[in-house]
Amino acid sequence: MAAPPGPLIAPDSVLNLRLALTVVVVAGYIAVCRLLRYARRDTEHAQRPYRSREDFQKMTAEDAWQIVKYIQSCEFPWISKKALSFALFKYGYFGNKPTHVLNTM
């Protein structure tokens, strides 16, 4: 009786193939994320007329607010939304009370 045939690919080469494939997939994912992130940043930056320090000195408050809003929406959207809602709640809570009530708190 003949011995059963062994595996076609050695187990070590399968592990090496999986490891190489994992490294390629992770590196590709990082490259795509980086490409998309910087493409979005460059697009936003191209819409603004500020290129030097002298240009930034002429920035309007509306442009500054738009830049801050953009950065907050990209970098940390959840925490900035919670902070804003807490600040508005606190302002509404203390802003509507008479001053004599605030002095007793």
Q: Residue 52: enclosing H or E segment and its boundaries?
A: none
Nearby residues of 59 by Cβ (< 8 Å), 6 or more positions away: 50
What's the whole-model pTM score?
A: 0.48
Res 3: pLDDT: 59
Please choose, from the candidates 33, 30, 29, 53, the residue with its C-alpha nearest in 3D space to the C-alpha of residue 41: 33
Extract the tokens encoding 69.
């809003």
Res 27: pLDDT: 97
Q: How far apart are CA 83 and CA 4, in angstroms?
A: 67
Res 22: pLDDT: 94
Extract the tokens encoding 16.
């090496």
Q: What pLDDT digit, counting tens, does each position of 23-41 carry?
A: 999 999 999 998 988 888 8
Q: Which residues of the chain have pLDDT under 50?
A: 98-105
Q: How far apart are CA 75 and CA 70, in angstroms?
A: 9
Res 31: pLDDT: 95
Res 48: pLDDT: 85
